[in-house]
């Protein structure tokens, strides 16, 4: 499956004809179910032969059929002649095939722009291809890609700032002195939830908090549990905490876990500005 999808994706980029993944996998699955009854073994798309065919000007699916027929004829008719081909000549053909398979423009793009994650995946895949085989290298590259992605998304940004009365039309300095807005950018999950706790702990005593969640696309159970614990602490200390600018998916997670019922709908605001205006109205 992995090699078929890789082959199809590579061929699709080379020919500007995106592959239908479902069609490819269903066809491969049906073929591999029935081929053992005829003495065959499970097969997959071959990126080497596909790449060579495209470079040679292949246009239609007949390319694969013609290729198979030529291989069949070479086995039965040309085998005596092929035994006289020097292995060094075959090695040269393989080297040129490998060179032409590489997407040199994409490789140059990686190194020219110093894209560290892409360069790491490139070298990991290349080295494992040499040591083992392409399928193993692809799987290793996917795992490395996942790990690098997790490292990147775990680096959230949390900023705290005092509320500025100038953001609304009236001056009510005394209303905002006990409030701090905490802006969070990035997904909240178990790898970075401690950073949020640290930001809350660093707030001055008796300070109320507004959590602006506009930049938070998703949240996991660990982080929601942390918010529940933070709310409990604030409630015991007679401090207030409200949530602003959350997306619908985030709000649904808050509802399912009981956080909204705990803090109350009155502690949920569409934006920080709406909270500021509401705070002013309550203190008139």
- The DSSP result for 79-148, as a single string, is HHHHTTS-HHHHHHHHHHHHHHHS-HHHHHHHHHTT-HHHHHHHHHHHHHHHHS-HHHHHHHHHHHHHHH
**CA–CA separation, 40 vs 3, rounded Å?**
19
- Are the beta carbons of 48 and 93 closer than 8 angstroms? no
- Are the beta carbons of 134 and 3 closer than 8 angstroms? yes
Sheet with 179-185, strands from edge to edge, namely 157-162, 179-185, 208-215, 241-244, 268-269
**CA–CA separation, 186 vs 216, rounded Å?**
5
**Cα 49 from chain centroid?**
30
Residue 3, pLDDT above cutoff 60: yes
What is the mean predicted confidence (pLDDT) over 203-213?
Answer: 90
pLDDT tens digits, 78-88: 888 888 999 99
pLDDT category at 24 given cuts 50, 70, 90 is confident
What is the mean predicted confidence (pLDDT) over 246-255?
Answer: 92
Q: What DSSP character marks residue 249?
A: H
Residue 164, pLDDT above cutoff 70: no
Q: Residue 182's beta-bridge partner residues?
A: 160, 211
- Please give the span between the terminal C-alpha atoms of the chain, in angstroms, as a whole number: 66
What is the mean predicted confidence (pLDDT) over 269-278?
Answer: 87
**CA count, 13 A, side-chain hemisphere, 127:** 8
In three-state secondary structure terms, 253 is helix
**CA–CA separation, 254 vs 226, rounded Å?**
12
Residue 255, pLDDT above cutoff 90: yes
Pairing of β 268-269 and β 241-244: parallel
Q: What is the pTM (predicted TM-score) of this model?
A: 0.66
């Amino acid at each position: 499956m992995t090699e078929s999808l890789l082959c199809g994706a590579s061929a699709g980029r080379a020919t500007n004809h995106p592959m239908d993944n479902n069609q490819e996998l269903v066809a491969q699955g049906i073929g591999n179910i029935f081929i053992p009854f005829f003495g065959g073994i499970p097969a997959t798309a071959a990126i080497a032969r596909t790449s060579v065919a495209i470079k040679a000007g292949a246009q239609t699916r007949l390319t694969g059929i013609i290729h198979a027929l030529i291989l069949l004829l070479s086995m039965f008719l040309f085998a005596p002649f092929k035994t006289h081909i020097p292995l060094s000549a075959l090695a040269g053909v393989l080297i040129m095939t490998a060179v032409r398979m590489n997407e040199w423009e994409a490789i140059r793009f990686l190194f020219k722009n110093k894209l560290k994650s892409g360069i790491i995946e490139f070298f990991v895949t290349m080295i494992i291809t040499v040591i083992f085989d392409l399928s193993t290298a692809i799987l290793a590259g996917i795992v490395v890609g996942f790990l690098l992605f997790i490292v990147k998304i775990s680096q959230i940004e949390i900023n705290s700032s005092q509320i500025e009365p100038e953001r609304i039309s009236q001056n009510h300095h005394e209303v905002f002195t006990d409030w701090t807005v905490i802006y969070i950018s990035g997904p909240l999950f178990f790898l970075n939830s401690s950073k949020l706790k640290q930001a809350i702990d660093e707030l001055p005593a008796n300070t109320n908090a507004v959590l602006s969640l506009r930049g938070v696309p998703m949240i996991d159970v660990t982080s929601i549990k942390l918010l529940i614990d933070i709310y409990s602490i604030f409630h015991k200390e007679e401090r207030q905490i409200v949530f602003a600018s959350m997306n619908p998916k985030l709000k649904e997670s808050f509802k399912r876990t009981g956080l909204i019922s705990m803090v109350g709908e009155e502690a949920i605001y569409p934006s920080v500005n709406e909270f500021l205006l509401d705070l002013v109205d309550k203190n008139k």
